[in-house]
Structure 1
Amino acid sequence: MRTNTQHSYYTRFNGSYQLVLPLNLETLIPEDDSVRLLSQILEGLNYQGLYKAYSSKGRKPAVEPKLLFKVLTYAYMNNIYSSRKIETACKRDINFMWLLEGNKCPDHSTIARFRKIYLSNAVEDLFYQFILHLKEIGEVKFENLFIDGTKIEANANKYTFVWDKVVKKNEAKMFDKVQNFLRDLNEHYSVEFIVSKERMLDDLNCILSFLKQRKEEGKVEFVYGIGKRKSKLQKFTEEVQSFYERQVKYDSCNEIFQGRSSYSKTDTGATFMRMKDDHMRNSQLKPGYNLQIGVESEYIVSVGVFQNRSDIGTLIPFLGKMEERLKLKYKNIIADSGYESEENYLFLEKKGYTYYIKPQTYDRWKKRSFKKDISKRENMVYDSKLDEYTCHNNKKLKATGKIIRTSVTGYKSEATVYECEDCTNCQFKPKCTKAQGNKKLQVSKKFIEKRQISYQNIVSKNGVKLRVNRSIQAEGAFGVLKQDYGFQRFLTRGIHSVSVETLLLGLGYNMNKLHAKLKNGRCGHHLHELKVS
């Protein structure tokens, strides 16, 4: 019986044929192709920071770093994020071959190493160089900055959470066990060892040294295995060693938390957050990062990756880093209600920004149910001279004192406490308050003042236009990145590697946006006009 033998040389038994290609592959790339725009712009950047990452000694890199950066940026322009897929594209795609300028195709490990190690300290500088190039050609004016944030899932296992409360609870339980253990140890050896929370490891180490000395003096041999009877000294030593190792683990966890409530074991930089769309569709927490972007003229002009679960604490560091990099400042800051806080208002005012932040209660203010709610401060009459409110029953709520409130970021705000003169036998009390005694209000006057300024800004004609543009430009950018680009989960681990991914994604998005504007004749277009109904 005849059998067919398979060969790995697939052309061995085929007829001879000749692949006809032009001598110059450049003729296959259209003159207005985005890869030509990419190469032209990236050629004009300063790569001094990137080349500093390479050692002056040893062999040269397999591919010129500048060329490899072009390849990575073009890959992110075309929704190719995996290093293996980028390697495949370099072997098969003419545009990638053209960018490599005849150099050997880099393998996936070279690409991954370049992105993780060499590019980590230079990509931010290259990103902002491109933004300044957009300023030079008139594409951005540094006038209106639209800010928005979203949560992107980390490359971490879903059920590897470590919770701050659990660690602190177990640490407190262990400390109680240590105190009970100390009583037995001190009684048995007639010593007076003390273990404090502040010097836990040092104190446990002293006890271990003492037990080791007793072992050497008594020439005690420790035994292991089934059927072996351990001495009292061995039991004490093993228990102290267990306490020591557990405390080292707890200290390591506390160092990783850095003010967070959780982290993932497989990516310690990721925080467990509640995301809009999760794998089980039941609002479970998943490890992720809070991605913040600033958009102007449809370009992503600033990027920030944070571990905060909410947006409130990201605004100040986000703007601070952007100013440091660009050496320029925007006039108007437009953001949604997730960024509203007294601390943020005062920061923006101090820096000279005009802020357009929607109040958190803005949508509720317009509802009829809110306007009829007699318990709300907004529906009471306020006398600024006497500093008192008048409730629905014409009773006075007078200032009785002040309290200091501390936010998650450590900011301290002052709130005035108002208490009704007498709520006894008031027919409106069930609708006004659930308190057993008189109704009380806590009011931050500074916050209300700044909120009113922001409210007047957003309801103005220019404010309405800017708010509409924020929805189109900032939220639209996230829609493109998540849906069109398919970027819904990071590939790398660690906040530094994730930041590199995000900056490359922003570069690819901006390059595509510039190419689209050039093709459609929309260059210099900064704001979308309101539709007149």
Structure 2
Amino acid sequence: MKKLIQHKNYTGFNGYYQLVLPLNLEMLIPEDDSVRLLSQILEGLNYTKLYKAYSSTGRKPAVDPKTMFKIITYANSNNIYSSRKIETACKRDINYMWLLQGESKPDHSTIARFRKDYLPEAIEDLFYQMVQHLHSIGEVKFENLFVDGTKIEANANRYTFVWKKVVNKNEAKMFEKIKACLVDINQSYLTNFSVSKDSILADLEQVLKYLKDKQKEDNIEFVHGIGKRKTQVQKFTEQLKEFKERQEKYNAHNRLFEGRNSYSKTDTDATFMHMKDDHMRNAQLKPAYNVQIGVESEYVTGVGVFQDRNDIATLIPFLKSMESNLGRCYENIIADSGYESEENYLYLEEKQQQSYIKPQTYKIWKKKSFKKDISKRENMKYDEDKDEYTCHNGKQLKMSGTTHRKSATGYRSEISIYECEDCSNCPYKSKCTKAQGNRKMQVSKTFVKKRQKSYENILTEKGILLRVNRSIQVEGAFGVLKSDYNFKRFLTRGRTSVKTEFMLLCFGYNINKLHSKIQNDRCGKELHEIKAC
């Protein structure tokens, strides 16, 4: 039987199909398709920084960088994040072909290289240009900023953790072993070597140099293998070399911690955090990033990626980044209780921004059990002129001194210490304090004052409206990004690449949000009104 030859070109099989007009893709794209809006907005951006990322002497890019940015942004707006899936879409989807405008279709490696090597240089500038465009068309007014954060899993193995506590513990144990080893060396060779924690590597290097000279002086040959007897010089040398290697390893770990308590070996920028959507539902720690966004009028107007597990330390750098990129500050900052701190309150006051931050004790204050608790400062009478509190028994708690407390960010707050004049024979002492002597109480006057002001702000009619909108807008944005867009884990590694990836996602989200508002005649609506019960 004659063997048939299979050809790689399949066009010969299509003899029954006739070429049909139109060939122009413009006629196939609906007039109200979001791809037209995306192209129009991105066409108006300034791509100077993106073009500068390319070498002026290198080969011409296969696809124009501006066109490539349009392709990737449109892919993110349609929940396509893989470079291989984007490549397939460029070959089969008419919307992507329309964006290419006859340019050659990029392969997956070109897309991945563009996203990793070139886009990080310009993505932040392009994102905030998009925010300025929303401002120019009246969608964003830089008035109310709703801030929130979420933890998104990093592209790292779950069991590659390095813990700072374990590293410090092992480093301390090794330091004691080094001191014991140097004592033996000093006794053996009548030397006076010592070691300090600040110059441990230099001290070890000095001792190793002495042992090397001793080896040459005594003409000692180091031996290896079973049945060979090692000299004392060789034993000391090998032991100190091992200590030196371990210390270099510990130093590398400490440099990577950067104020954190852990990091992942797979992605050293990722920190191990408790995840809400843990697959085993046992609060398992996973390598993740703390992603912060600021939302106004349902658009994401600010993005920050942090390594801190809590939100308190992220607010100030996040707002500073937004101010630097936008050239202006928001009037009102609305956030939940996770952002409350004296440092944050003072920063907002300095920038003349109104704080609508819910106090951490907001829910507790409403409980009857709290209002009946005589040990709480809030339930004591305070005389501002005399600067003293009056307890349930009518005794005065007067200021006896001050101390200072330092936060994780380095901020020092002043704490006033109040002590009761006499707690002896008090019938309420068991309910007021567990102290053996007089009741003592530590109060940060500045924090109490700023917390009260923010508390009063959120109780106003405007404050209630903003708090309701915070839960709708910023938490709603995260809900769409994580559930509707199915973005629950980063594809890239490293803080820079992760930030680029998330900004692209928010870029696509903003385009879709504007498209939705235009089609549903909702443009210009900033806040959701409170529905009457």
Distance change in 2, residues 1:209/1:505 (3 Å) = same
Q: Identity over aligned residues, as a percent?
A: 67
Structure 1 gaps of 5+ residues are none
In the other structure, the counterpart of 2:16 is 17
Provide the alpha-carbon RMSD of the alignment.
1.8
Q: 2: CA distance between counterparts of 1:420 and 1:361?
A: 24
Encode CA deviations 1:61-113: one digit per residue, 9 max, x unaligned.
12111111111100110011111111121122111111112222212111111
Local SS of the residue matching 1:120: helix
Cα 1:168–1:501 change in 2 (3 A) is same
Structure 1 residue 315: deviation in Å? 0.7
The C-alpha deviation readout for 1:175-202, integer Å capped at 9, x for no partner, is 1100000011122222222221111111
Question: Per the alignment, in what secondary structure is the counterpart of residue 35 of structure 2?
Answer: helix
Superposition deviation, residue 10 in structure 1: 9.6
Q: Which residue of structure 2 lines up, in the alignment, with residue 38 of structure 1?
A: 38
Give the equivalent residue in structure 1 for 2:437. Answer: 437
> Which amino acid letter does the alignment assign opposite residue 265 of structure 2?
K
Report SS of the residue matched to 1:356: strand
Name the SS for the 1:162 alignment partner: strand
Query: Who is 1:497 aligned against?
Result: 497
Specify the alignment match of 1:108 in structure 2.
Answer: 108
Corresponding residue number in structure 1 for 2:265: 265
Supply the distance in 1 between the matched residues of 2:118 and 2:227 (Cα, whole angstroms): 57
Pairwise CA distance, 1:226: 2.2
Q: Which amino acid aligns with 2:284?
A: Q
Shift of 1:13: 10
Displacement of 1:53 in angstroms is 0.8
The letter of the residue matching 2:17 is Q
Distance 1:372 1:286 in 2: 41
Give SS of 1:55's match. coil
How far apart are residue 259 of structure 1 and its match?
Answer: 0.8
Q: Give 1:4 shift.
A: 11
Structure 1 pair 462–83 and aligned structure 2 pair: CA distance change class (3 A): same
Residues 1:300 and 1:179: Cα distance change in structure 2 (over 3 Å): same
Distance 2:7 2:449 in 1: 76
SS at match of 2:338: helix
**SS of equivalent residue, structure 1 residue 441:** strand
Pair 1:240-2:240 in alignment:
yes
User: What pairs with 1:309-388 in structure 2 (closer than 5 Å)?
Assistant: 309-388=309-388
Separation in structure 1 between the aligned mates of residue 230 and residue 83 of structure 2, nearest angstrom: 55
User: What amino acid maps onto 1:183 in structure 2?
Assistant: V
Secondary structure at the aligned position of 2:247 is classed as helix
Moved more, 335-344 or 103-112: 103-112
State how far apart, in whole Å, the 2-side matches of 1:409 and 1:303 are.
21
Residue 203 of structure 1: CA displacement? 1.2
Equivalence for 1:277: 277
Number of aligned residue pairs: give it. Answer: 532
Shift of 1:483: 0.6
Work out the CA distance in 2 between the residues paired with 1:157 and 1:58: 37
CA apart distance, 1:218 = 3.1
Question: What is the distance in 2 between the residues matched to 1:481 and 1:455?
Answer: 31
Match of 2:446 in 1: 446
Report the Cα offset of residue 225 of structure 1.
Answer: 2.1
- Kindly state the Cα deviation for residue 212 of structure 1 after the two structures are TM-superposed: 2.0
| Aligned residue in 2 for 1:94 | 94
Distance 2:224 2:242 in 1: 16
Per-residue Cα deviation, 1:126-168 (whole angstroms, up to 9, x for no partner):
0001111111111101111111111111111111111111111
Tell me: CA distance 1:101–1:425, structure 2 relative to 1, closer, same or farther (3 Å).
same
Q: How far does the alpha carbon of each residue in 1:452-487 deviate from its partner, in whole angstroms, 9 at most, with x for none?
A: 111111100111111111111111100110110111
Q: Displacement, 1:492?
A: 0.7
1: CA distance, partners of 2:216 / 2:153: 54
What is the match of residue 175 of structure 2?
175
Which runs of 5 or more structure 2 residues have no equivalent in the other structure?
Answer: none
1:132 counterpart letter in structure 2: Q
Residue 152 of structure 2 aligns with which residue?
A: 152
3-state DSSP of counterpart to 2:399: strand
Shift of 1:15: 7.1
Work out the CA distance in 1 between the residues paired with 2:400 and 2:124.
52
User: Given residue 308 of structure 1, which amino acid in structure 2 is its aligned partner?
Assistant: D
Q: Structure 2 length normalisation: TM-score?
A: 0.96
- What residue in structure 2 maps to residue 291 of structure 1? 291
Letter in 2 for 1:155: N
Range that drifts further, 206-215 or 123-132: 206-215
Q: Which residue of structure 2 lines up, in the alignment, with residue 468 of structure 1?
A: 468
**SS state at 2:120 partner:** coil
Q: Is the partner of 1:360 in helix, strand or coil?
A: coil
Shift of 1:366: 1.0
Report the AA paired with residue 292 of structure 1.
Answer: Q
Write the distance in 2 (CA, Å) between the matches of 1:33 and 1:19.
28
| Inter-partner Cα distance in structure 2 for 1:439 and 1:162 | 43
Measure the CA separation in 2 of the matches of 1:441 and 1:399. Answer: 9
Q: Which residue of 2 aligns with 1:410?
A: 410
Code of the residue aligned with 1:362 in structure 2: it is: Y
- Following TM superposition, by how much is the alpha carbon of 1:506 offset from its aligned partner in structure 2, in angstroms? 1.0
Corresponding residue number in structure 1 for 2:420: 420
How far did 1:435 drift? 2.1
Determine the C-alpha separation between the residues in 2 that align with 1:279 and 1:324: 38
The code of the aligned residue for 1:185 comes to I
Kindly report which structure 2 residues correspond to 1:451-530, keeping only aligned pairs within 5 A, or say none.
Answer: 451-530=451-530
| Structure 1 residue 12: Cα displacement | 9.0
Report the residue type matching 2:240 in the other structure.
V
Note closer, same or farther for the CA distance 1:137–1:241 as it changes in structure 2 (3 Å cut). Answer: same
Which SS does the other structure have where 1:479 is aligned?
helix
Distance in 2 (CA, whole Å) between partners of 1:279 and 1:159 is 15
Listed as ranges, the matches of 1:107-256 within 5 Å are 107-256=107-256
Q: Could you state the TM-score of these two structures normalised by the residue count of structure 1?
A: 0.96
1-structure distance, mates of 2:212, 2:26 = 76
**SS class of match (1:427):** coil
- How far does the alpha carbon of each residue in 1:230-252 deviate from its partner, in whole angstroms, 9 at most, with x for none? 22221111111111111111111
Could you report, residue by residue, the CA deviation over 1:425-467 in whole angstroms, capped at 9, with x for unpaired residues?
Answer: 3332222222222222111111111111111111001111111
Mapped partners of 2:106, 2:483: distance in 1:
29
What amino acid is aligned across from residue 17 of structure 1 in structure 2? Y
Q: Distance in 2 between matches of 1:197 and 1:41?
A: 57
| Larger displacement relative to structure 2 (248-257 or 23-32) | 23-32
